[in-house]
Structure 1
Amino acid sequence: MKIEKTALPDVLIFEPARFGDSRGWFSETWNASRMAEAGLRLDFVQDNHSFSAAKGTLRGLHYQRPPHAQDKLVRCTRGAIFDVAVDIRRGSPHYGRWTGVELTAENGRQLLVPKGFLHGFLTLTPDCEVQYKCTDVYAPDCDGGIRWDDPTIGIDWPLAPGEAPQLSAKDSTAPGLADLDTPFVWEGAA
C-alpha cells in the first residue's frame, strides 16, 4: 500500500495495490499489521456505508467530539467524490485549512481523516457509494458540524458556477467556524 502525505499533516492518502487478471481485481484495503509498521495504530470499531443518488450531493462538514471522537478511513466504492478534511485543532498552525482529494471506485484511493478534523464530501457522479471505517461508534450527543461554504475556510468545491449542492436540513443550517469552541487541541511540536 502506498501512503501519500497531503498539505495537512496527519491527513493521509492511502493507495492500496490492486492485483488483476481476466476476472477483475483484488485489493487489500486495510491491514492493521502493515499500518502499525508504518506507525499508524488505529483500532476501527464501526464501518459506515452511504449512498447518494444525485450528483452534487454534499455531506458535511462533520466531526464527533470527545469522548467519542473518530478517526475515519474513507473510500468511494461506486462513482466519484471530492473528499475534504479541515483542521480544527486549537493551536494548530493549520487551523481552518483544508485539503481535498478525488476518491473514485476506479482509483481505489482512501483518505485518512484523523480526530480533530472536519470531514465532508461532494458527489461528482450520480449513484455514489462511500464506505468508511471509524475508531469510535456514532454518538449523537457528540455530533457536530460546520457550514460547508464557510468563507473563512474557503473550500474550492468542484461545483459549476451557480450550482448549489443538495444538503441535508442539518448541514444547511450548520454554524460557521467562528462559532466553534473546538474541543480538539493540537499536540504537535512548535
Structure 2
Amino acid sequence: MKNGMKKTAAVVMAAMLMGTGAVVPAAEDMGIFSQTAIVAEAASVGKVTGLKSKTLSNSEIQLNWSKVKGASGYTVYMRKNGKYNKLGDCKGTSYTVKKLPNATRENFKVRAYKTVKGKKVYGEYSANWNTATNPQACKGLKKISANSDSIKLSWTKIGCTNYRVFQLKNGEWKEVGKTAGTSYTVKNLKAESEYKFKIRACKTDDKNANH
C-alpha cells in the first residue's frame, strides 16, 4: 500500500514539475519502475537443464549442467534431512562436492541467477539428480578353505551394496561373481594350480547405476 502511494505521489510530482519548466527526474530515479525492472530480469533467467554427475572418489562428486544464457552464475544445493541446502555458488557449469561420506547416496539441484542492482534474482530449480559416492577399498581378503576344484574367500565388511569378485585370467582381471555377504566360493578350478583374486565393493544409487 505504501509503495503504491509513493509511486502515485511521484507521478503527480512529475506532472507538476513539467508545468513549471523544471528538469524532471527520470522515472527510474524516482523509483517508479525499479521493482518492475527486477521482476523482468528475474523472468529472463532460464531454468538449468542437463544436470549430470561423475563420481570422482569415495568422497567427491562432480556435477555438470548446460549453460543458461545470460546467467551471472549458479547456486548448487544438496538434499539433507528432507530439504535442499545451499552448498555454494560458481560462475561456470561445473561444481565438485567434496568431503562426502563413502558409499552414500546424494541428491542435488542447481539454479541459475542473474545479479541485478547488486542482488541475485534466480531462475527455476533444475530437476533433481541423484547419485552416490564410491565405497572405500575392500580389506582383509583371505582364503578360508580350499579343495580340489574350489576356493572360499572372505574379507572385512564395509558399507556398500554388494561385492564383486575378480580373478586374474590371461593377464586380465575378470569378474567371476558377486555377493552381498563377506565370503564367496570360486568354483570350477583345477587342482594343484595357483590362482589370484581381488575383491571390489560396489554402491548402487537410486538410478541403479553402480559405483
Aligning the two structures, in what range does the TM-score lie when normalised by the shorter sequence?
under 0.3
Give the TM-score, by structure 2 length.
0.22
Between Structure 1 and Structure 2, the one with more helix by share is 2
Which of 1 and 2 has higher RCO (CA within 8 Å, sep 6+)?
Answer: 1
Give the TM-score, by structure 1 length.
0.24
